[in-house]
Amino acid sequence: MWMRNLVFVVTVMIGAGTLGWMLFPAAVPPPGKGFDPNTIHDPEFVGVVGEIDALFAQTWEKGGVKPAPGAPELAVVRRMSLALTGSVPSVQEIPAATASPPGSATSWRRTAPTTRSSAS
């Protein structure tokens, strides 16, 4: 009898702990500001970055690898929309993307998808 009670208590405690862990997850740190390599002026850091860039360039040159040409603006918008919302841009969002100046495909992203109800 006591063994059954012990198993029951342990099972309840594990379940309660799991439920608490799921309902109250650990605090997530706020997103970072991003990294701007131009703000780092440490000569050692700049030297290491230069060495790594040179190594990549040398390896790519040996292998005959060339960078792909830039994607058209609408392709970038479509890819960003798929990555951020899981669907292609709506018919209303496409004119906003084509109206923005060339090279600024990301500017339409600030306001367009926030009204999309299907985004999760």
> Among 41-55, 69-83, 94-108, which range has the highest average pLDDT?
41-55
pLDDT for position 106: 55
Q: Supply the pTM of this predicted model.
A: 0.40
Q: What is the mean pLDDT of residues 59-86?
A: 86
Q: Mention every residue, 6+ apart, whose C-beta is less than 8 A from residue 105.
A: 73, 76, 77, 80, 97
Residue 15 pLDDT greater than 80, yes or no: yes
What is the C-alpha radius of gyration for the chain, rounded to an integer number of angstroms?
A: 25
pLDDT for position 104: 60
